[in-house]
Amino acid sequence: MTRQIRWAAEVVTPLIRETCMATVENTEEMYNLFNKAAKAYDQSGVEFFRPIGRRLVEFSGITAGASVLDIGSGRGAALFPAAVAVGEQGEVVGVDISEEMVKYAREDADELGLKQIELRVMNGQKPELEPGRFDAVIGSCSLFIWVKSADDVRPYLELLRAGGRFATAAPSFFSTVRGKWALFPDAVNELLMPYMLQSLKQSGAYDSQFANAGANWLVSAESIEKTLLEAGFVDVEVVEEELPVTVTSGEQWVEFTYTTGMRGMWERIEESERREVVAEVSRRLDALRDENGIITVPVPIVYMRADAPKA
């Protein structure tokens, strides 16, 4: 047995099996998807995850010397800004279920000389870390994938010190009650939503936020606040901000989505049909070019923060 296979058998497989907040199938789906996407993840040249990560760290109020946990740290969109914010006297622990994501993030951290970063392969739904260790727990475009209720958020409260800060960011779900998904430009939303829902159904995640928008905790600021208060947090604040995502062609937008979690949707479309869908998406988006040849897709992002009680 090679070292890689032994490592997967001894570390990754138990990680997948031990999840307590999603089915084994859904967790394994995430693991496989993000392992495949890791090399290209956030590397398409389209500015999306990094500005969200920077804004989340700013919104979190992370200060020098703090101890921070980044859940679902991916390629470091929030991890690296957090490391800069805490400085050499602080620490940032990044966890991700994908060992490929961790591998690439570790290489990038080493290249940037960010020695205050520690990276671990770990299921973010069930972080096995010391209670009360962190001043802040954050998650940029990660937690929304599996969190559905106060019970799913409570483990992060337990990791915080008294008065610590929980903060996360997600593509806005405020419009899902109208059948609109934030990451889809208006021009292609009705074309792509059926494929997204079918993908979720095939992956066993059909009860997700997309398909069950009305019961989704992210559907409104009021629902977010209610969920976080029920989990035991205090002083909840929620803001929705628009992120202008720019591409030079509809094809580039498709390529960008293929380097994100939406890859799962594309891969479930039969090849010949997928070519037709991509061509139609590209045609519709190309029609939106401005005089400089730029297509701007406004994406609403929700940022939320709350504190652990001080006593």
Q: Are residues 67 and 159 in the same domain?
A: yes
Q: Are residues 150 and 170 in the same domain?
A: yes
Domain count, the chain: 2
Q: How many CA atoms lie within 13 A of 291 on its CB side?
A: 0
Q: Which domain holds residue 94?
A: 3-174+211-243+300-307
Distance, CA of 170 to CA of 303 (rounded, Å): 7
Closest CA to 105 of 56, 170, 45, 34: 34
Reported as a single tens digit per residue, the pLDDT across 219-242 is 899 999 999 999 999 999 999 999
Q: Are residues 91 and 187 in the same domain?
A: no
Give the sheet arrangement for strand 91-96, strand by strand: 117-121, 91-96, 67-71, 134-140, 160-171, 295-307, 234-247
Per-residue confidence (pLDDT) for residue 12, from 0 to 100: 33
Q: Are residues 94 and 185 in the same domain?
A: no
Q: What is each CA distance from 2 to 9, 261, 305, in whole angstroms?
A: 11, 29, 44
Q: Are residues 90 and 234 in the same domain?
A: yes
Q: Are residues 94 and 237 in the same domain?
A: yes
Q: What is each CA distance from 162 to 131, 226, 308, in whole angstroms?
A: 11, 20, 6
Per-residue confidence (pLDDT) for residue 14, from 0 to 100: 36
3-state helix, strand, coil in the chain (%, to 5): 45, 20, 35
Q: Are residues 44 and 120 in the same domain?
A: yes
Reported as a single tens digit per residue, the pLDDT across 149-176 is 999 999 999 999 999 999 999 999 888 8
pLDDT at 15 over 90: no
The CATH number of the domain holding residue 27 is 3.40.50.150
- Higher-scoring residue by pLDDT: 239, 6: 239
Confidence of residue 10 (pLDDT cuts 50, 70, 90): very low
Q: Are residues 201 and 80 in the same domain?
A: no
In order, the DSSP letters of 120-133 are: EE--TTS----TT-
Q: Are residues 192 and 102 in the same domain?
A: no
8 Å CB contact between 171 and 145:
no
State pTM to two decimals. 0.85
Q: Are residues 48 and 28 in the same domain?
A: yes
pLDDT at 75 over 70: yes
Per-residue confidence (pLDDT) for residue 8, from 0 to 100: 34
Q: Are residues 14 and 91 in the same domain?
A: yes
| Residue written as token pair 């998650």 | 139
Q: Are residues 220 and 93 in the same domain?
A: yes
